[in-house]
Amino acid sequence: IFQMVGGLRASMGYCGCHNIQEMIENTQFIQITAAGLKESHPHDVSITVEAPNYSG
């Protein structure tokens, strides 16, 4: 639950919403494809040590 609350708070911050009602009224969900997700991450970069919290 702690991580879910953290994600909700972060998304509200990204959207500039002060409460849940503002988020319901003022946000828009955008779905991207798997290819779009892959392209949105950094690529063609040599990583020497993989981050422990990222596997993309």
* pLDDT tens for each residue of the chain, 56 residues long: 999 999 999 999 988 999 999 999 988 888 999 998 888 877 777 767 777 777 65
Domain ranges of the chain: 2-40
CA distances from 9 to 1, 13, 31, 34 (A): 12, 6, 20, 25
Task: Report how far residue 53's alpha carbon sits from residue 56's, in angstroms, rounded to the nearest whole number.
Answer: 10
Question: What is the pLDDT at residue 6?
Answer: 92
Can you give the pTM of this predicted structure? 0.49
φ/ψ bin of 9: left (φ > 0), alpha (ψ from -120 to 50), beta (otherwise): alpha
In this structure, are residues 15 and 23 in contact, taking their beta carbons and an 8 Å threshold?
yes
The predicted structure's pLDDT at residue 47: 65
> Do residues 27 and 17 lie in contact, with contact meaning Cβ atoms separated by under 8 Å?
yes
